Amino acid sequence: MSNIKLFEEKRIRSVWNEADKKMFFVVEDVVRILTDSVNPKDYIKKLKKRDPELSKGWGQIVPTLAVDTPGGKQKMSCANALGFPENEQAAVEGGTVAGNARKELEKKSGRQVVTSQNYKSLSEKKVRQLRKKK
């Protein structure tokens, strides 16, 4: 059974692995969404190159499963959601710390940290979103 899941209105392909009795998600889709990467395959390749331990264990952590695609079944790297709740909580806590630090810096300096003049360091996607808000 393959499905499309949505995360913040973005598609993530998923597949039920009967052998493990677990839902798996296409890693490339997750990386694309979380990093705003234009080329998630290249992002993953560079990530594995920078971390030899991750590269060594990639096949065990990220099995290749058959996923339904418009062109038929295709073998893709997938991961299950084991640990996602814990990681989500860590991300929320980290985001809160960063947000509080930004607010404190803005209060001390009397200036905004994020402005329309420093938006160019953002991804193309974020730049488009900022332009739409104007």
CA distance 2 to 116: 42
Q: What pLDDT score does 1 carry?
A: 45
Pairing of strands 72-80, 22-26: antiparallel
Cβ burial, residue 13 (10 Å; 0-12/13-18/19+): buried
Q: What pLDDT score does 3 carry?
A: 63
CA-based radius of gyration for the chain: 19
Q: What pLDDT score does 98 carry?
A: 81
Percent of the chain with pLDDT over 70: 79
Looking up tokens 């991804």, which residue turns up? 123
Q: What pLDDT score does 76 carry?
A: 92
Q: What pLDDT score does 134 carry?
A: 59
Residue 95: C-alpha distances to residues 26, 69, 90, 91, 121 (Å): 25, 34, 8, 6, 19
Q: What pLDDT score does 130 carry?
A: 73
Positive or negative torsion for Cα 104, 96, 8, 41: positive
Are 107 and 54 in contact by the 8 Å Cβ rule? The answer is no
DSSP states of 94-133: HHHHHHHHHHHHHHHHSS-SS-TTSGGGS-HHHHHHHHHH
| Ranges in the chain, pLDDT < 50 | 1-2
Q: How many residues does the chain have?
A: 134
